[in-house]
Structure 1
């Protein structure tokens, strides 16, 4: 073997090792990027939900309270009643469980939405033959729904028991001591399927939020109306993003709110120890209403309480959801900017 052969072999081995190191570096960078994106989503969920926790609890109490035994009659009165009867802790009851649920839910939801957008956009460009094609509102709705299905499916049992912990009061005959105790109790007494009651009505809301937020952001950047965006701007400011998030929350909660009411009521099915949930008779003497499914829950709610019952708790939810969604979207993008993550929602 000549010296040239040795040099050539050494050079070739060095080139191969460089390729291997480069591939490993890319893989490591991708993993770090994904972890940072998940972390940003989790922080966004925790911050946004904690900020509006009292309104979140009041909304759920209004959604499921017995119409024959009204305790919470409006946003201000309801918050005052909780403060008077349960104190500061009552306003934030269930928030720890909610954060334990919302952190992984939000992380998976934001990340799943970005990945779904990437996959759908790739298929759309391949089908149309246009490499410059962008996602339409309908495709974004599909990506949002996909993200909602993945996120809800992975964390729904925690949402289910969070609803029950939020509803229980000091006077409830039976007390869930925490999320793990509630999960084990529901599983033991009502079976595995009970942990997923109300899952189906949860999906549209998430899809609508993402679709409206992303479509509105793109429209503002492209058309730059009313002087809201500078002509040379390539990204929206924090205030404008808050406005887009608020609009997304308003549209999503208005359209999908009846589904949220039905979801909460379905979660209470089989729970005979609640102090105040919807019943079929006056003064709560009869057993709680039982629902065989989503359609049956809609029918019985309208039959027993009228169409307006589908919008119980809408006012505190409106007050809550606009800042909550806005804070979540902006916190997510701000945390990603701080961490230096290149992957963006709008990408």
Structure 2
């Protein structure tokens, strides 16, 4: 028995030495252990998502600001109606910097939001596909548009919830002007002021319509983008596909179509979210909204009440205020985000892209 124990111990030691030698050999050849390799891949995916969000949002920052201003503009004191007119007004009254007001806060929110969103979609897609194959017994099954919609919805909810306080203060920083009685000096000042004066729950005001809106918005973005790409690769219409790879221009077009569909469906909820975020801001009456009669018009008891008051006082069309600049913004923004994400992942050497 003793000799057998010694033999087992000796075999174990030899095995350990061999494994360590193999790992050292792999490391010298530039091959990382599975754990470190997985962590590096996750980090690269998060970086790609963050870069995609920052680049795409900065490219359309003036339109993003105009959209929010139109959403919360007092209907009894309208200063501009259209996209061009609105941009000219901002330029005239606030200069070039006014076009990008709130973009720093926006990027501080959108970079982690985009990183979490793209990474969550990758992981949710893998999990949903695994579960689908287990349920159907078909190991070769692929993601359907409906499954992609579910993965996108999961990614949107996770990303929105993780970064919502940043979105809350971003909306207020974007809305305030040089004439506002109180000025938020930046992200930290806005967060601490809202927390101190209105309580921690205020940082998540409008969260419910945001989550409800993000399900169709992000879900449709991913589902339409990926399904369009699959269809183009399989059907090869008009000679758009070469060697099973779409050109950057074609992928931009897929992203533009995805963004247009998603934002059109979810836009009314975005308007309601924006208005609910202004509730409790004692200086908001000078820059926003309601029926123009009193500060009480800014008070909503919930999402349904906000819908009801908005439609009653301003009509159904108020739910689509700012849709035109938003549409002009969404087309390049979503397209740039998807393509930038895939390009950066290629540059960083990440093996898997979202369509894989």
Structures share fold, TM-score greater than 0.5: yes
Tell whether the 8 Å contact from 1:63 to 1:264 is kept in structure 2 after alignment: yes
Partner Cα distance (2:277, 2:295) in 1: 18
- Which runs of 5 or more structure 2 residues have no equivalent in the other structure? none
Alignment counterpart, residue 16 of structure 1, candidates 15, 19, 28: 19
TM-score by length of 2: 0.91
CA contact (8 A) 2:75 2:291 kept: no
Deviations 1:74-125 (A, max 9, x none): 1111001101111111100000000111110000000000000000000000
CA distance in 1 between counterparts of 2:12 and 2:33 reads 24
- Which residue is equivalent to 1:252? 262
Equivalent residue runs for 1:99-118 within 5 Å: 99-118=107-126
Q: Is 1:310 the equivalent of 2:319?
A: yes
SS in 2 for 1:272: coil
Is 1:291 the counterpart of 2:288? The answer is: no
In 2, the alpha carbon distance for the partners of 1:10 and 1:276 equals 74
**Separation of aligned partners in 1, 2:145 and 2:230:** 10
Partner of 1:281: 292
Q: Deviations over 1:123-170 (max 9, x none)?
A: 000000001111111111111111011101110000010000000000
Q: Please give the secondary structure, in 1, of the residue aligned with 2:182.
A: coil
For residue 237 of structure 2, the aligned residue among 225, 247, 250 is: 225
User: What is the match of residue 351 of structure 2?
Assistant: 342
Q: Does the 8 Å contact 1:280/1:286 carry over to 2?
A: no
Find the counterpart in structure 2 of residue 194 from structure 1: 202
Q: Is the 8 A contact 1:45 1:328 kept in 2?
A: yes
Listed one character per residue, the Cα deviations across residues 256-305 of structure 1 (whole Å, up to 9, x for unaligned) are 111111111111111121222113334xx544421122221111111111
Map 1:311-330; keep pairs closer than 5 Å. 311-330=320-339
The reply to whether residue 96 of structure 1 matches residue 66 of structure 2 is no
Mark the CA change 1:206 to 1:9 in structure 2 (over 3 Å): closer, same or farther. Answer: closer
The Cα of 1:8 is off from its aligned counterpart by: 6.0
**Shift in alpha-carbon separation, 1:10–1:280, aligned structure 2, 3 A:** closer
Aligned to 1:242: 252
Counterparts of 1:94-173 in structure 2, within 5 Å, are 94-173=102-181
Counterpart secondary structure, 2:330: helix
Written as runs of structure 1 = structure 2, the 5 A alignment for 1:48-59 is 48-59=56-67
- Distance apart, 1:234 and its partner CA: 2.4
| Larger displacement relative to structure 2 (238-247 or 290-299) | 290-299
RMSD of aligned C-alpha atoms? 1.9
Distance 1:179 1:132 in 2: 48
Q: Which moved more, 1:5-14 or 1:329-338?
A: 5-14
So what's the TM-score if we normalise by structure 1?
0.93
SS in 2 for 1:106: helix
